[in-house]
A and B are shown apart, each in its own frame.
Chain A
Amino acid sequence: MADQVFLYALSTCPWCRKAKQWFTDMNVPFEFVDVDKLKRREQSEIAEKVFELSGGRRYPVAVINGEVVAGYNPERYLQLLNSVG
């Protein structure tokens, strides 16, 4: 089954960049949003969503096949992906 990966990120955060790079290197298609680049109103909506998902406002937050991973954590990413590992 194809993996569904969405990444909530901040453009200022190096760990978010590392996460994007990791999925790219692993050839895992993913979608992402840099929350701080959104317009103010959208920004608070998405930030609230991130809080609901992860219980915090620490980035990156990855949602992999419905599972939430807060923090840059390649080991956990591997466990949750069907197509890699």
Chain B
Amino acid sequence: MTMADTNRQDALRYLFERVVAPLGFKFTPDEELAAFLLEQEVKLEQDHGAPFCPCQGRTGVRADDMKIVCPCIPFHREHFDRMRRCWCGLFVHKDVTDPGSLPQFPPDEA
């Protein structure tokens, strides 16, 4: 990981914090997980043009793919609100202190 990559991770943290806070989310307190996910996003941005979700697959159809650019909360809000986290877990509801306890389930499951 280069210095530039680290700087980009910091930039993404700054940009995303401003997006997710008004939506009731914060960065996961699991620092190791957050660092890993941001590292992947910087790589995805370098290789594929945008910081896509590291845990969702691109289809090549722009309308689909733009809905999984981080932070993708606005496009999956009901689902993520029910999980109290986003799919990859980079963001959790503001009151979450134990992110490891939050289950990951698809939108059609309770």
Is B57 a contact partner of A73 (Cβ separation < 8 A)? no
With A13-B54, A14-B37, A59-B55 known as contacts, the answer to whether A73 contacts B104 (CB < 8 A) is yes
Is B108 a contact partner of A58 (Cβ separation < 8 A)? no
User: Does any Cβ of A come within 8 Å of B9's Cβ?
Assistant: no
Output the least CB separation between A8 and chain B (Å).
9
With A10-B54, A12-B43, A15-B89 known as contacts, the answer to whether A44 contacts B106 (CB < 8 A) is no
Partner of A36, one of B36, B57, B68, B103: B57
Considering only CB atoms and an 8 Å cut-off, how many residues of chain A contact the other chain? 22
Output the least CB separation between A20 and chain B (Å).
14
Is A15 a contact partner of B57 (Cβ separation < 8 A)? no
Chain A 27-85 residues near chain B, CB threshold 8 A: 35-36, 44, 47, 50, 54-60, 70-73
Is A50 a contact partner of B57 (Cβ separation < 8 A)? yes
Partner of A12, one of B55, B59, B87, B107: B55
Is B40 a contact partner of A72 (Cβ separation < 8 A)? no
Chain B 85-110 residues near chain A, CB threshold 8 A: 87-89, 103-108
With A59-B56, A59-B57, A73-B103 known as contacts, the answer to whether A12 contacts B89 (CB < 8 A) is no
Is A44 a contact partner of B60 (Cβ separation < 8 A)? yes
Residue of B nearest to A75 (CB): B103
Which residues of B pack against A, CB within 8 Å?
Answer: 33, 36-37, 40, 43-44, 54-60, 68, 87-89, 103-108
Which residues of A pack against B, CB within 8 Å?
Answer: 10, 12-16, 35-36, 44, 47, 50, 54-60, 70-73
Can you give 16 contacting A-B residue pairs, CB < 8 Å?
Answer: A12-B43, A12-B44, A13-B88, A14-B55, A14-B88, A14-B89, A15-B89, A50-B57, A56-B107, A57-B57, A59-B56, A60-B55, A70-B106, A71-B104, A71-B105, A71-B106
